[in-house]
Amino acid sequence: KSEVGRFARSTLEFGNGVSVPFGPDKYAYELRHNVWCLGVFDNRQNGAVIGGTNMRNAEVIFDREHRRVAFVPSDCAAMYAGNRNSALKGGYGLSGCNAKAS
């Protein structure tokens, strides 16, 4: 993981002045031991989620009424395994978090 940590960090900049920094731990994933891939996937449908990998290890709140998004850091793997509850009412962990310990 130390080599991946040397990859570039970036920031998503939104029109209202909000900035969301992210690094390689958010835009890359470990396919297998020491093999890292860029987190761009074929949805096999019409459409895509830009920044989908940035949602890993976070509970994401989509407030459609007020057109806002919030990211709450979370231990996704623990939630999926039932060892941690969601901070959100009705929230749950997805296996797609892909947050296995390395």
CATH number at residue 93: 2.40.70
Cα–Cα distance list, 32 to 36, 42, 81 (Å) = 7, 19, 21
- Residue 82 sits at φ, ψ, to 5 deg, of 85, 10
Look at residue 102 and tell me if it is in a domain.
Answer: no
Predicted confidence (pLDDT) per residue in 62-80, tens digit: 888 998 888 888 887 788 7
Q: What domain range is 74 assigned to?
A: 4-41+50-97
Look at residue 74 and tell me if it is in a domain.
Answer: yes
Cα–Cα distance list, 86 to 59, 72, 73, 81 (Å) = 8, 10, 11, 12
Look at residue 89 and tell me if it is in a domain.
Answer: yes
> How many residues would you count in the chain?
102
pLDDT at residue 93, as a whole number = 55
Look at residue 25 and tell me if it is in a domain.
Answer: yes
Predicted confidence (pLDDT) per residue in 18-64, tens digit: 888 888 878 888 888 888 888 776 667 766 666 677 777 888 888 88
Domains: count for the chain: 1
pLDDT reading at 13 higher than 80: yes
Look at residue 90 and tell me if it is in a domain.
Answer: yes
pLDDT at residue 1, as a whole number = 56
Cα–Cα distance list, 76 to 14, 27, 35, 44 (Å) = 25, 16, 21, 24
pLDDT at residue 64, as a whole number = 87
Look at residue 81 and tell me if it is in a domain.
Answer: yes
Q: How many Cα atoms sit within 13 Å of 6 on the Cβ side?
A: 2
pTM of the full predicted structure?
Answer: 0.55
CA angle in degrees (0–180, nearest 5) for 18-60-30? 100
Residue 100: pLDDT band with limits 50, 70, 90? very low
Look at residue 70 and tell me if it is in a domain.
Answer: yes
